[in-house]
Structure 1
Amino acid sequence: MSLYSRWSQYGARLTVILTLAVALLSVLTGIANIGAQSVVGPLAEFIPPAIQRTAGFTGALTGFLILISAFGLRRGLRVAWYSTVVLLPITALQGLMQSSPLSFPLIVLSLLALPNVLANRRHFDRELSFSISQLTALAAIVGAQIYGTVGTYALRDEFANITTLVDAFYYTLVTASTVGYGDAAPTTQSARLFGMSVIVIGTTSFALALGTVLGPAIEARLSRALGRMTDSQLELLSNHILILGYGDLTEAILEEFSQDIRDGTEILVITPDSDNAQHLAERDFNVLTGDPSDEETLRKAHIEEARAILVATNNDAEDALSVLTARDLNTEGYIVAAATNRENIGKLKRAGADTVISPQSIAGEILVRSALNRQSMDEMDELTTEFLDE
């Protein structure tokens, strides 16, 4: 691994670690000040009383938001990078406002983390996409809250302790979530009927959202146990590297990828062996159980959007068929194949591979040069380049 790659890798990791540290400190600071009724920091005289009264718990709330952003950074999401850039100055400002032994470390760590986040922008470029079911669940929750809030405020004269939009939103939230503290309650028949509709619509929207969140998680857990990807995970694949088949050489390829690829590139392995699929899934590799030469399997793996396709098992005949199918489905994709027998290099190229490498031939040539004392690092690099350019 090059020095640049190492520094790039460490920079991305440091960004996630610093963001997590800021999140934890912000939560702790917020908890320490949760009972505070005002702020006493250097900015106290410039802060409106309403904001001062909420300063006690906003630190914890911001901390949880940054924690979510940190997990998004771990996945390389662009939206997580933007939210982190916005939230870090807020945590530093909250540290100035709050009076706590944790405030100073929070300010320093937030200010140190921000330049690092900005400097590592290129590592966080993955788009966040939502499925139709997720968008539907989000729309249902928002719609239910708007319906309840507007309706409750319109009927506020028929409710006890409801005079403002905040009161109406509060009633809708505690009613829809089935908490129901009882401090805000309907006093007329029409208000009770409206409250019943809020319960039905609100609980339904919450149940829909819960199913949308937990359903894919349970599906992913079961799929991982069976050694395969879920349909929702496959739908998100784009600009990925596709590895067709699994063999001894494939294992070396995966080890190399796990060490060198740090730009958020997804790798998907297609293998017909369920045991191999489960083994790869346990090591956190994306895997799809299926025939790597089958058109339906390759379409499910979004082969038309793959940035590169690798074929390297121990069976040249099966590899040739996989290359042929892959080239037919992705005419522009870059295909690299490994030939177990040197005489099959031409066949794999005719099948559609852009580059064919014979590991045995490379190893044999290196051994001969070593035996004749002609080995050097420059010669090894030159030899490797020759085979890559064949």
Structure 2
Amino acid sequence: MASRRVLLGARVTMVLVTLVAVLSFTTGVVKIGTTGVDESVAAYVPEDLERAAGFTGALTGFLMLGSVLGLRRGLRVAWYSTVLLLPVTAVQGLAQSSVASTPLIALSLLSIPFVLLNYRRFDRQIDLSTTQLAATAALLGTMVYGTAGTYRLSEDFNNVETILDAVYYTIVTASTVGYGDAIPTTQQARLFSISVLILGVASFTLALGSLLGPAIEARFAQALGTMTERQLELLEDHVIVLGYGDLTEPIIDELDGTVPFVVITPDQEAAAELNARDIAVLSADPSDEAPLQRASIEDARAVVAATNNDANDALAILTAKSLNADIRVVAGATDRENVEKLRRAGADTVISPAVIGGHLLVESALGDENVETVADQLLDSSGGSAAGE
């Protein structure tokens, strides 16, 4: 069941969508400015669509990459945009008819059911700040103002005759590119162009600032180990390690490279060190519900409680079980007398390093040199002597 969930999971979906985006961009670049459609579909593809398939395919590839970034954050709007863009890339693949067109069409169609099956995995709403909303409104308002005004004053411009010409002039003016092929010829048109230029520069600057500012803040937060949202996105079939201490490091070494995992610890210095090692970590109290929910406990494989404090372990176990009653919980007991307490808190397996060490010492003292075999037997047991029973 777990392997099937991984096979149909969000990660596979994102890989497929990323491949579609790359192929769409590649075929689009190859077909820019060229014509020639496969004879089997030539009769159904208009010449204008055939010519536009190149640069529109590359543009769709960029849009698809944007959707992939949104999917990585679990955004529902990215899920909707992906569902809309996949049929478009398939149709463009038909129109482009290049070497990469067949795999583009096949991957586009193959990705659709994967995206649909993982609908619930992409349920996060876009949380835009007031500044970001204002920047978006200003940018859109400038584009509408510039396009409508340029088209209305088209007689006062050279080479502006259609709405598309007006959009083109507004973009090249507001972005300060100014190719010079569309020129105002009257004082009124020049004054209007100045207003478009000023509003365009201001709105573009505001938009960039509202986007880059949070990204820079996220970098600082990531360096401090206080925010690792990007690492936690789309976790599934993983292990959640509660706490960080002497017991945790061997656990991390065992999990690293074999099973996806995330560490939750209130120690910010430890979180920063783990983050520097590219280990997914949340700087939070492991007994709180919020960090466990951010770590996708409902989709986790198991929970390991190893805070070096049995009381904190018991509270963290109770919280984990309340959020996912079926999840397997393994706890490390610092004191052997707390083994039963951790079991009553909900731990499925409790390992006491002190008890294990005692067993190994006794076996070694009695002449058994194969202590590693004894340790394996103790660790494989779900309770018994290893747990102090």
Distance 1:310 1:208, change over 3 A: farther
- The structural deviation recorded for 1:6 is 2.6
Matched, 1:271 2:266: yes
- Unmatched 5+ residue regions in structure 1? none
- Unmatched 5+ residue regions in structure 2? 298-302, 363-369
Distance 2:296 2:104 in 1: 42
Distance 1:119 1:249, change over 3 A: farther
Number of the residue aligned with 2:198: 200
Distance 1:305 1:17 in 2: 23
Partner SS for 1:269: strand
Work out whether residues 245 and 307 of structure 2, in 8 Å CA contact, stay in contact via their aligned partners in 1. yes
Number of the residue aligned with 2:351: 359
Number of the residue aligned with 1:158: 156
Number of the residue aligned with 2:366: none
Deviations 1:328-385 (A, max 9, x none): x99x7679775311334688899xx6659642078589989x99x99999x966638x
Deviations 1:107-164 (A, max 9, x none): 333334444x257525733414233133333222212211211222222222222222
Matching of residues 15-164 of structure 1 within 5 Å: 15-36=13-34, 39=37, 42-115=40-113, 117-118=114-115, 120-121=117-118, 124-132=121-129, 133-164=131-162
Distance 2:343 2:100 in 1: 63
- The structural deviation recorded for 1:289 is 5.2
- The structural deviation recorded for 1:63 is 1.8
Work out whether residues 17 and 68 of structure 2, in 8 Å CA contact, stay in contact via their aligned partners in 1. yes
Work out whether residues 19 and 113 of structure 1, in 8 Å CA contact, stay in contact via their aligned partners in 2. yes
Matched, 1:312 2:306: yes
Partner SS for 1:178: coil
- The structural deviation recorded for 1:178 is 1.0
- The correspondence for 1:339, drawn from 333, 336, 360, is 333
Distance 1:5 1:259, change over 3 A: farther
Distance 1:322 1:205, change over 3 A: farther
Matching of residues 293-308 of structure 1 within 5 Å: none
Deviations 1:257-308 (A, max 9, x none): 98556xxxx956233351x222211244454557x49x9xx79x66898876
Work out whether residues 265 and 282 of structure 2, in 8 Å CA contact, stay in contact via their aligned partners in 1. yes
Number of the residue aligned with 2:224: 226
**How many residue pairs are counted as aligned between the two chains?**
363
Partner SS for 1:248: coil
Distance 1:272 1:359 in 2: 23
Distance 2:348 2:343 in 1: 7
Distance 1:193 1:348, change over 3 A: farther
Matched, 1:211 2:209: yes
Work out whether residues 244 and 263 of structure 2, in 8 Å CA contact, stay in contact via their aligned partners in 1. no
Q: Which amino acid aligns with 1:271?
A: P
Distance 2:137 2:240 in 1: 35
Distance 1:182 1:73 in 2: 40
Work out whether residues 38 and 55 of structure 1, in 8 Å CA contact, stay in contact via their aligned partners in 2. no
Distance 2:324 2:30 in 1: 56
Distance 2:230 2:107 in 1: 35
Work out whether residues 243 and 263 of structure 2, in 8 Å CA contact, stay in contact via their aligned partners in 1. no
Cα RMSD between the aligned structures?
Answer: 4.7
Q: Which amino acid aligns with 1:270?
A: T
Q: Which amino acid aligns with 1:320?
A: A
Distance 2:283 2:227 in 1: 8
Q: Which amino acid aligns with 2:53?
A: A
Q: Which amino acid aligns with 2:32?
A: I
Work out whether residues 155 and 191 of structure 1, in 8 Å CA contact, stay in contact via their aligned partners in 2. yes
Matching of residues 247-286 of structure 1 within 5 Å: 247-251=245-249, 267=262, 269-272=264-267, 274=269, 276-286=270-280
- The structural deviation recorded for 1:32 is 1.4
- The structural deviation recorded for 1:193 is 1.8
Number of the residue aligned with 1:180: 178
TM-score for the superposition, normalised by structure 1? 0.72
Distance 2:207 2:359 in 1: 59
Identity of aligned residues (%): 46
Distance 1:375 1:338 in 2: 15
Distance 1:303 1:16, change over 3 A: closer
